[in-house]
Structure 1
Amino acid sequence: MDTFAIPPAFAWPVQFCIFSSAVTYVLSVITSNVSQVDRLWTFLPTIYTAYFALLPLWPQEQLFYLVPYTPASLGIVPGAYNPRAIMMLCLVITWMFRLSYNTYRRGLFDLKDEDYRWAVLRKQLHPILFQITNLTFISAIQNILLLLLGIPTYVAATQPIQPLDNRDYGVIFLSLIVLALEFTSDNQQYAFQTFKHENRRFHRSHQWPGARLEWSPADAGRGFITRGLWAWSRHPNFACEQSFWWIMTLASITPSQLSFADLRSSLLGGKFDPSPLLGALAPLTPALALSALFFSSTLYTEAITASKYPGYAAYQARVGMFSPVATVFKGLWLAVAGGRVEIERTIWGKETKDE
C-alpha cells in the first residue's frame, strides 16, 4: 500500500485536484457545457503555484477539508520562504492576468459559452463515448495537468534557500519577453477576428500596440490570420504558452537533476533499462505533458480549420506549426522545390513575407 501513498507535499494539491475534477464534471453534465475546465485554466496553475511557494505560510495540520496546510513531515520552517519560489509565483501571477484578460474578452467566462472544438467533438462521437471523454480527459486529465504545472515551484520551494542569482534574473527576463510576445499574438488574433466579423465598427487605433495591422478585405475573406507574428508561426500564442512553462520547469531544477550519466551507462552496458531514461525525464514532466497536450489538440484544431478554409493547406505548407525556424526552412524548401510564389500569393495576397 505504501507504494501508492501520496507524498505529503501533494496531500492538499491532490485533494483539491479531485475536488475540482468532480465539480467541473458535474457542472458540465448539468449545463451540457464542457468548457468548465477552460474557465478555470487561468486560475488553477496559479493556485497550485501559490500553495507550493507559500508552504511556510500554511498551518501544519488541516483545519478542515480543502483548507491548505503544510504537513510537519516536510520540515518546512514557518516564515522561511524560498526567493526562487516566490519569483516563480510572481511570474505565474503575471501569466494569469494575461490569460484572464484574453479569456474575458473572448467571452469564455460567460457560463453559456463553450469552446467551439467541444461542439465539433460532440457531433463526432456517440453521446456515451463523449461523456467518457468528458469524464476522463476534459475533466480529470486536464485538471491533473494543471496540478503538474505547479510542480516546478514545489521543486524550487524545497531547495536550499539562496538569494536570486543571474540565472534567476535571466528567467525573469525570458519569461517577460515570452509573455509580451504571447500578449501581442493574442491581440493580433483578436484584432483580426474583430475586423473579420465587425468590419464596419473596427477601429485600428483602438487595438493594442503590435496589433494595429493593415487588414484587407482579402484577409477577412481568407478566414484565418496570416499576418504579424502569425506570419512566422501558425500558433504563436501556443508556442509562447509552451515556452513559458518550459522556462518555469527548467528554472526550478539543477543540472544534476538532468544528468543522463546513468542512461549512458545503461546503453553502453549492452542491455537497455528504461528506468534511467524515465528518471532523467521526470523533472521535465510538467513541460512535456503540456507540450503533448498542445501538439495533439493543435492537430485537431487545424483539422477543423482546414475543413472550413481551402487556403489553410497552403498556410500549413509555408508556415511552421509553432517554430519560426520551421517557417524559414519551409520557405527555403519551397524556393528550391518550386511553388513558393503561388503559395505565398494564396497566403498573403500580392505581398510576400520577407525572411
Structure 2
Amino acid sequence: MDGIPPVLQMLQSMSWTTFKNILINGYSELRFPDTDNSKMLVDFIWYHARADPFIFVIRASMVDKLWSIIPVFYALHFTLHHWLYFTQDNGDAMPLNYRLVIAACLITMWGARLTYNFYRKGGYGMEYEDHRWVVLQEKIPIGLWFIFNTTFICIFQNMLLAAIVVPLYVVWRANLFNSVPLNIVDAAATALFLLGFFLEVKADQQQWAFHEQKRLAAEAKKRPDELTGDVKRGFLTHGLFKYSRHPNFFGEMSMWWAIYLFSVAAAYPHLTTEVLINPSIVGVIALTLLFQVSTTMTERLTSGKYASYKLYQKTTSRLIPLPAGTSLDKLEKKNA
C-alpha cells in the first residue's frame, strides 16, 4: 500500500471488502497450533502475538460461554495486543490507543456489573437455568431442542460475544494507518454508554428490590388480600418501569451501540457511508434483533402468568423510556 495516503489506507482498512478478505484468507488460522505440553504456553503466546486479532477472537469465541466476562477479555485483547508484543522503530513500547483504552474500560464496567448481578441472582450455581430455556425445552421435541441448543445457545451466542466487540478491532486496524485523536464522536459514544449503564444499573436494582419484596411476602405467607401494589400484581410497574417495560434491555442495547460509535470515531472527520455503516455494525444489529425476540418471548410468558400485564402493555412503552400513559390503577379499576 506504499504511496497511498494514510487516511485512504485507514478508510480502506474499514471496508466491507477488507473484512470479507480477512475472513476468507484467515480461515486456515481458525485453529491453535499443534503443540506439546512442555511448551504449550510459549506456543499460545506466539500464536496470540502473530495472529490477526480478529481471527484470534473468532477462534476463541467457540471455546468459552461466560457472557459477562469474555467480551472484557476481547476488549483487553484488542487494546493491549501491539503494546504487549511489538516496539517502535526506536525500541520504545508501542503507545496505547486511548480510544481503545476508554472503550475497554467501559466494557470492563459492563462486565463487572453484569457478573455481580448474575452472581447475586444465583446464576453461577449448578442448579441455575434461564427460565425461558426451561419453557422452550418443554415445548420443543428433544431432537429439535438438541439442534437449537448446539446452534443457537452454544455457537451463535458465543459468536455474538465476539461480534459485539469487533468495533474495537476496527479501531485497531484504523490506527495502523492513521491515528485519529479523540474527538466529539468519542465523547458522544462515552456519554451514550454511561447513560445506558446508569439505566441498566438503576433498573436492575429496582427489580432486585421488588423481587426481594415478593420473596419476603412469600416467606411471611401473606394472603392475596394482604398484598398491595406491584407485589399483588406480580410484576414491577414503578420507578423506571413506569416509563419502559424493559429499561434494562434498552440500557444494554444503548451501551453496545455506543461501543460501535467508537469505530466511527476512529475515522473522524471522514464520515463516509462506509465508515458510518462499517462491517462491525453486524454484531450490534444482531444483538438488537436478539433482544427483540427475547423481549417478545419474555412478555408472552409474563402476560400468561399475570392478569394485569396486558393492561400494562397498553400504558407503558416496550423499550424506549417514554412518558407514562394512563395509570395502570385506573385501567385495572375500569376492567374490574
- TM-score, normalisation: structure 2: 0.74
2:179 matches 1:161:
yes
> Are the aligned partners of 1:81 and 1:161 in contact in 2 as well (CA < 8 Å)?
no
Preserved CA contact (<8 Å) 2:196 2:250: no
Q: Deviations over 1:40-63 (max 9, x none)?
A: 111011111111111213447xxx
User: Partners of 2:24 and 2:189 in 1: how far apart?
Assistant: 35
Q: 1:247 aligns with which of 258, 280, 283?
A: 258
Please report the RMSD computed on the Cα atoms of aligned residues, expressed in angstroms: 2.9
Alpha-carbon spacing, 1:13–1:312, altered in 2? closer, same or farther (3 Å)? same
SS in structure 1 of the partner of residue 237 of structure 2: coil
User: 2:292 matched to 1:303?
Assistant: no
Deviation at 1:80, TM superposition (A): 2.5
Query: 2:163 touches 2:280 (CA, 8 Å); kept in 1?
Result: no
SS in 2 for 1:132: helix
Using the alignment, how far apart are the partners of 1:257 and 1:288 within structure 2? 23
In the TM superposition, what whole-angstrom CA distance separates every residue of 1:203-239 from its partner, at most 9, and x where no partner exists?
xxxxxxxxxxxxx723111011000000100000000
Partners of 2:181 and 2:268 in 1: CA distance: 18
Q: How does 1:46-57 map to 2 (within 5 A)?
A: 46-57=72-83
> Which residue does 1:140 correspond to in 2?
155
Distance 2:188 2:232 in 1: 42
The equivalent residue for 2:285 is 288
2:236 paired residue among 221, 225, 233: 225
CA shift, 1:91, in A, is 0.6
Number of equivalent positions: 275
Distance 2:318 2:116 in 1: 24
Residue 80 (structure 1) aligned with residue 130 (structure 2): no
Tell me the CA shift for residue 169 of structure 1: 3.5
Contact map agreement 2:198 2:251 (CA 8 A) in 1: no
**Structure 2 counterpart of 1:45:** 71
How many angstroms does 1:257 deviate by? Answer: 7.5
Give yes or no for the alignment of 1:123 onto 2:138.
yes
- Which of 89, 96, 107 in structure 1 is aligned with 2:122? 107
Rate the CA distance shift 1:143–1:114 in 2: closer, same or farther, 3 A.
same
Partner of 1:189: 207
Gaps of 5+ in 2: 1-19, 28-51, 87-91, 221-226
Instruction: Tell me what 1:236 maps to.
Output: 247
Q: Is the 8 A contact 1:152 1:248 kept in 2?
A: yes
What is the match of residue 174 of structure 1? Answer: 192
Match of 1:4 in 2: 24
Instruction: State whether residues 241 and 247 of structure 2, in contact with CA within 8 Å, keep that contact through their aligned partners in structure 1.
Output: yes
Query: Secondary structure at 1:19's aligned position in 2?
Result: coil
The alpha-carbon deviation at position 157 of structure 1 amounts to 2.3
Offset, 1:279? 9.5
Distance in 2 between the 1:156 and 1:106 partners?
Answer: 35
Cα gap change, 1:108/1:257 in structure 2, threshold over 3 Å: closer, same or farther?
farther
Q: What one-letter code is carried by the residue in structure 1 that aligns with 2:301?
A: I
Deviation at 1:174, TM superposition (A): 3.2
Distance 1:87 1:324, change over 3 A: same
Which residue of the partner structure matches residue 34 of structure 2?
Answer: none
Give deviations 1:80-131, integer Å, cap 9, x for gaps: 3211001100111111111111111111011221111111011010111111
Assess if the C-alpha contact under 8 Å between 1:230 and 1:236 holds in 2. yes
Higher RCO (C-alpha under 8 Å, 6+ residues apart): 2
Task: Kindly state the Cα deviation for residue 4 of structure 1 after the two structures are TM-superposed.
Answer: 2.5
Residue identity over aligned pairs, in percent, reads 32
Say whether the 8 Å CA contact 2:75–2:107 is kept in structure 1: yes
Q: Are residues 1:259 and 2:272 paired?
A: yes
Partner AA of 1:296 in structure 2: V
- Which residue matches 1:89? 104
| Aligned partners of 1:82 and 1:162 also within 8 Å | no
Per the alignment, do residues 15 and 306 of structure 1 end up closer, same or farther by CA in structure 2, a change over 3 Å counting? same
SS in 2 for 1:324: coil
Deviation string for 1:107-156 (max 9, x for gaps)?
10112211111110110101111111000000100001000111111122
Q: Structure 1 unaligned runs (5+)?
A: 21-36, 61-76, 203-215, 261-275, 332-339, 351-355
| 8 Å CA contact retained: 1:257, 1:283 | no
Distance (whole Å) between structure 2 residues aligned to residue 200 and residue 312 of structure 1: 20
Cα deviation, 1:295-327, whole Å, max 9, x if unaligned, reads 1111111111111111111111111110123x5
Secondary structure at 1:198 match in 2: helix
Q: What is the one-letter code of the residue matched to 1:198? A: L
8 A contact 1:185–1:237 mirrored in 2: yes
